[in-house]
Homo-oligomer: A and B are copies of this chain.
Amino acid sequence: MRNLLEIQKKLVPDMMEILQKRYDILHRISTSGKIGRRSLAAEVDLTERVLRSELETLRAQGLLSIGTDGMALSEAGKRLLEDMKPLVKELFGLSELEERLQAAFGLKRVVIVPGDSDESDHVKWELGRAGAHVLRDSMSPGDVVAVMGGSTMFRMAAQFSMPTAQRDNWFVPARGGLGESVDYQANTIASELAKRTGARYRMLHVPDHLSEEAYQSIMQEPGVREVVDMIRGARIVVHGIGDAMTMARRRKLVPETMEEIRKDGALAEAFGYYFDRDGKVVHRMATAGLRLEDIEAAGVVIGIAGGRSKGEAIASVLRFGHDDILVTDEAGALEALRHH
């Protein structure tokens, strides 16, 4: 956050969008030569009326010359486009990257924040904020949102906000307790999110890792059963992405299991599962939380992770193919693309 552009993005967050839209329009006119409003609208994918408003402001700025036979750039418009050329990459570079990631992994949406989470804490927080933003956009009244734990999710939750409180939204932890710092527990994060929006939440008071029999017996508990049903029916799932080995260690898996998943080529971890480089699940276990089939059934799955070091893991989870939205940083995006 040092140069003018970054400051402007902070103070006028809509600016980039508008800037890009108008640049698109000018650029399209530039390449098309004389063109009419209707055909232009189709090309830049705006409704006729919206485009018209844009054209009016562009004309008011003296960038367009509009005649009865169509419109073209004025001299000032041509000059402006020329002057912009060297800046386009700086301005819209991330948007291009977003589109490439989106196409490469068949995602619905990609959001990239500038920087590298590995290098700077600031970027980590920005990543969280971007994630919060995306989640907010994705939510509708009545939604149940299942969230994972982790430091990224924590930073997301800490910056979450809703314009108006939605009392009929539910936040639930996607999985049980992990024996980590309490701040990073899925339970904690679900409650934080709920608190910050006036929504409601449920807690899942079971350990994440269960033996089969313990699983069967605890599922008999009505208080648990109820929450689990809610979790498994969540419309939105938000999760971080981690390195497989680091997560395995943090989960305190028994050495044999660790060796096993390492042998299987486990590379990434997400929502409690381990994935190899092809996005294949190499390890699964009984869980009271969200299962793979619930992920597949969920309406919107949002992955949040950044940093060059996580790029490969991100690519691996995306290959799994059930994420709809990815929120990452520049370094993570580039690295993920490299492993495509």
Q: Which residues of A contact B (CB under 8 A)?
A: 1-2, 4-5, 7-8, 10-13, 15, 18-19, 22-23, 56-63, 76, 79-80, 83-84, 87, 91, 125, 129, 159, 161, 163
Selected contact of A163 from candidates B19, B56, B58, B163, CB within 8 Å: B56
A8, A23, A76, A163: residue with the most chain B Cβ atoms closer than 10 Å: A8
17 A-B contact pairs sorted by A residue (CB < 8 Å):
A1-B76, A1-B79, A1-B83, A2-B83, A4-B4, A4-B87, A8-B19, A11-B18, A11-B22, A11-B58, A11-B61, A12-B18, A12-B19, A12-B22, A13-B60, A15-B15, A62-B125
Q: Tell me the bound Cα distance from A61 to B79 in angstroms.
A: 34
Which chain B residues lie closer than 8 Å to A161 at the CB level? 59-60
A1, A10, A57: residue with the most chain B Cβ atoms closer than 10 Å: A10
Q: Tell me the bound Cα distance from A2 to B161 in angstroms.
A: 39
Cβ of A26 to closest chain B Cβ, rounded Å? 8
Which chain B residues lie closer than 8 Å to A80 at the CB level? 1, 7, 10-11
Known pairs A83-B1, A163-B56; A15 contacts B8 (CB<8 A)? yes
Selected contact of A15 from candidates B12, B79, B91, CB within 8 Å: B12
Cβ of A133 to closest chain B Cβ, rounded Å? 8
Q: Tell me the bound Cα distance from A4 to B90 in angstroms.
A: 10
Closest partner residue, chain B, to A159 (CB atom) = B62
Closest partner residue, chain B, to A128 (CB atom) = B62
Which chain B residues lie closer than 8 Å to A60 at the CB level? 13, 161
- Say whether B63 contacts A10, CB under 8 Å: yes
- Say whether A129 contacts B4, CB under 8 Å: no
- Say whether B61 contacts A13, CB under 8 Å: yes
Which chain B residues lie closer than 8 Å to A12 at the CB level? 15, 18-19, 22
Which chain B residues lie closer than 8 Å to A63 at the CB level? 10
Q: Tell me the bound Cα distance from A19 to B125 in angstroms.
A: 23
Q: Tell me the bound Cα distance from A12 to B15 in angstroms.
A: 7
- Say whether B10 contacts A61, CB under 8 Å: yes
Selected contact of A8 from candidates B8, B76, B129, CB within 8 Å: B8
Which chain B residues lie closer than 8 Å to A129 at the CB level? 62
Which chain B residues lie closer than 8 Å to A61 at the CB level? 10-11, 13
Cβ of A52 to closest chain B Cβ, rounded Å? 12
Q: Tell me the bound Cα distance from A126 to B60 in angstroms.
A: 12
- Say whether B87 contacts A7, CB under 8 Å: yes
Which chain B residues lie closer than 8 Å to A2 at the CB level? 83
Which chain B residues lie closer than 8 Å to A5 at the CB level? 4
Closest partner residue, chain B, to A25 (CB atom) = B11
Which chain B residues lie closer than 8 Å to A23 at the CB level? 11
Cβ of A263 to closest chain B Cβ, rounded Å? 44
Cβ of A115 to closest chain B Cβ, rounded Å? 14
List 9 tightest A-B contacts by C-beta distance, closest first. A11-B22, A12-B18, A10-B61, A11-B19, A7-B84, A4-B87, A10-B80, A15-B15, A2-B83
Which chain B residues lie closer than 8 Å to A91 at the CB level? 4
